């Protein structure tokens, strides 16, 4: 879909690599620039989980890309990178603020020789202000953005989301910004400075909640809620409840008179909408005690015919076997030597189809030689660059 776009990605961890993977899935020619030892997610990754000698974190966010390994601190690094940048449409990076500027690869330096460049930067906290330049990772942003305060049991125990949601939302926003800038470039020929941050992503995840809080004149007391309720601004029973054999999510629909009658509870029937809102702690305690005696099958059989939305809480083993997930093709297996890694597919369909896996995540420096040849370097010059350790080439991977 965007096969004409060429991207040079100076990205590590998850946010930046995932953003460039979205573009690579859509057909962009994405080259990952890594240090000689490899990017963090290649070397270390999360939880130390590896297949063979490869980090599964790396495998999850780097498909459909090429890899060139460059020592950015080597005095000849610019000699290698400038012709690569001149041939690309987009430079992406999520280094700490100022890191690429020190290496002569900041926006102003690149724009000086490539005026129409799309230069996309993702930071933790933004490009200015008192937090600019400080390390910003998903958990810290969850904390500072208020997300932790509205997650968890709601009774004052602050809890983080169970997965780095800000990283992944930040990646999607960065990819969206690049696509918008690319459309502008195709129409006007102008480059764009694209800047996103994890802080903005963390707040964007809460767009409705924050608007309701500020515009409604709410206070900290309004956010406190029983742990079973899913959010502070939707009335019970909207939440997660422990049953005899499972946990169930109950959303809204149907009428609350039908809900209380279906559960056979005169206590619940005594609460009208105002009472459920004003006395939600009491209502929720009664509901929790009532539902603890039910199985999921019993509850679904009683509520679904009345138009209530109910779903069993799944764990990751359940998701792996979910028929709907399989029908949508949302998980894919990719080859890793003699093994196979299970990762998420691209999340959007185009004309009814998901973008295919064109190439598995690359070996470090797998494309160093061919990329330099395309940029105009001769064989002897490439050998010299490899010999002086400006670049690293995985010749065995390239031959394979």
Cis before 237 (ω within 30): yes
The radius of gyration of the chain's CA atoms, rounded to the nearest angstrom, is 25
Q: Which residues contact 237 (CB under 8 A, 6 or more apart)?
A: 250, 259, 284, 287
Q: Which of 29, 138, 167, 394 is catalytic?
A: 167
Distance CA 82, CA 386 (A): 17
CA-based end-to-end distance of the chain = 28
Paired strand residues for 216: none
Minimal CA–CA distance to 389: which of 69, 114, 31, 57? Answer: 69
116 a catalytic residue? no
Burial (CB count within 10 angstroms: exposed 0-12, middle 13-18, buried 19+), residue 365:
buried
Q: Are strands 331-336 and 339-344 parallel, antiparallel or unpaired?
A: antiparallel
- Residue 353 per-residue DSSP state: B
Paired strand residues for 342: 333
Active site residues: 167
């Amino acid at each position: 879909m965007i096969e004409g776009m060429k991207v040079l990605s100076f990205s590590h961890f998850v946010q930046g690599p995932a953003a460039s993977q979205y573009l690579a899935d859509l057909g962009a020619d994405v080259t990952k620039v890594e240090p000689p030892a490899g990017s963090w997610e290649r070397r270390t990754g999360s939880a130390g989980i590896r297949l063979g000698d490869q980090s599964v974190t790396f495998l999850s966010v780097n498909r459909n890309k090429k890899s060139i390994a460059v020592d950015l601190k080597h005095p000849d690094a610019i000699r290698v990178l400038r012709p690569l940048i001149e041939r690309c449409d987009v430079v992406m990076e999520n280094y700490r603020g100022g890191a690429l500027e020190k290496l002569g690869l900041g926006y102003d330096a690149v724009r000086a020789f490539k005026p129409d460049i799309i230069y996309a930067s993702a930071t933790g906290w933004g490009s200015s202000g008192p937090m600019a330049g400080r390390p910003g990772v998903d958990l810290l942003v969850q904390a500072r953005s208020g997300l932790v305060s509205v997650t968890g049991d709601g009774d004052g125990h602050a809890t983080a989301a169970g997965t780095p949601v800000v990283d992944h939302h930040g990646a999607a926003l960065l990819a969206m910004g690049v696509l918008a800038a690319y459309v502008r470039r195709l129409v006007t020929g102008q480059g764009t400075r694209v800047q996103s941050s994890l802080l903005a992503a963390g707040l964007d995840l809460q767009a409705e909640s924050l608007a309701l809080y500020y515009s409604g004149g709410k206070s900290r007391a309004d956010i406190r809620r029983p742990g079973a309720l899913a959010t502070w601004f939707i009335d019970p029973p909207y939440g997660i409840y422990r049953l005899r054999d499972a946990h169930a999510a109950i959303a809204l629909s149907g009428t609350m008179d039908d809900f209380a009658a279906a559960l056979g509870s005169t206590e619940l029937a005594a609460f009208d909408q105002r009472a459920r809102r004003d006395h939600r702690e009491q209502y929720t305690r009664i509901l929790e005690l009532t539902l603890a005696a039910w199985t999921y099958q019993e509850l679904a059989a009683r509520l679904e015919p009345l138009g209530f939305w109910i779903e069993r809480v799944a764990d990751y083993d359940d998701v792996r076997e979910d028929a709907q997930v399989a029908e949508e093709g949302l998980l894919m297996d990719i080859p890793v030597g003699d093994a196979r890694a299970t990762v998420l597919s691209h999340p959007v369909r185009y004309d009814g189809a998901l973008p295919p896996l064109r190439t598995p995540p690359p070996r470090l420096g797998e494309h160093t030689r061919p990329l330099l040849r395309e940029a105009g370097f001769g064989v002897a010059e490439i050998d010299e660059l490899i010999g002086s350790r400006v670049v690293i080439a995985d010749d065995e991977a390239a031959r394979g």
